[in-house]
Amino acid sequence: MQRRISLVMPVYNEAKAVEKVVRDCHEKLIKKLPGSEFIIAEDGSTDGTKKILRRLAKEMPLRVVMGDERKGYPRGIRDALKLPKNDIVCFSDSDGQHDPSDFLKMLDYVDRYDIIIGMKKPRRDPFHRLVLSRAYNSLIRLLFGLRFKDIDSGFRVIRKKVLDDVLDKSTTLPECTNSEITIRAAKKGYHIIEVPVTHYPRAAGDTKSFNFRKLPKVVLALFRGLLRLKSDISSAK
């Protein structure tokens, strides 16, 4: 079935990767689904990303929302996900680690599911990220009884009705907004599935180096956030 989608992509300091990512998304997804829209939420980049996006917007149907200053990834996600006009929203990070054609496979599930999570398999991340991801997903299972393998994936399909229902409330886990949207949606009875998708090593762009000395503080803050989220969901019943 032909579908109209809104592809939403937050972008920050991706000058080395963003042109290829945008062109791939346009060729492999947007052109195949007439009536769809491609939204880029730029977050105050300082490395030439803005200039590239302005040029691309003259070549293809691209809605670029420029940021005057850095909001940060969590707020950037929430603001970006308020922009779509179509009922089916495809969300992707802009680092080039995914194949946009995988969205076509994921769209086969939208008649039965409200959120389709792109589960990275095999996952091409550094070892420490693999360990932390497994521990994090296990903690989600323990606290919320939700069995996901990649709950915080930045590659997913979401029905707009879900975003309208839970997005504004999803501020308890500032570093894991995708997770919070998923958890809140699951607890409201929305249907969610994980679908395996291709994952590539990060080839370009800025990424934060991992600081093991900050790990205990980060883990403690995340655990407290998850407990607050659990309490908030329980009190809302």
- In this structure, the strands spanning 155-159 and 88-92 are antiparallel
- Right CATH number for 5-236 from 3.90.550.10, 3.40.250.10, 3.20.20.70, 3.30.1600.10? 3.90.550.10
Q: Where are the domains of the chain?
A: 5-236
**Neighbouring residues of 82: CB distance < 8 A, sequence distance ≥ 6:** 163, 167
What is the pTM (predicted TM-score) of this model?
0.92
pLDDT of residue 206: 46
pLDDT of residue 2: 74
Nearest partner of 136 among 168, 92, 182, judged by Cα? 182
pLDDT tens digits, one per residue of 188-207? 999 999 999 999 987 665 45
Average pLDDT over residues 109-116: 98
DSSP assignment of 160-199 equals HHHHHHHGGG--S-TT-HHHHHHHHHHHTT--EEEEEE-B
Residue 120 scores a pLDDT above 60: yes
pLDDT of residue 88: 98
CA dist., res. 70 & res. 94, Å (int): 16
pLDDT tens digits, one per residue of 18-73? 999 999 999 999 999 999 999 999 999 999 999 999 999 999 999 999 988 898 88
pLDDT of residue 204: 61
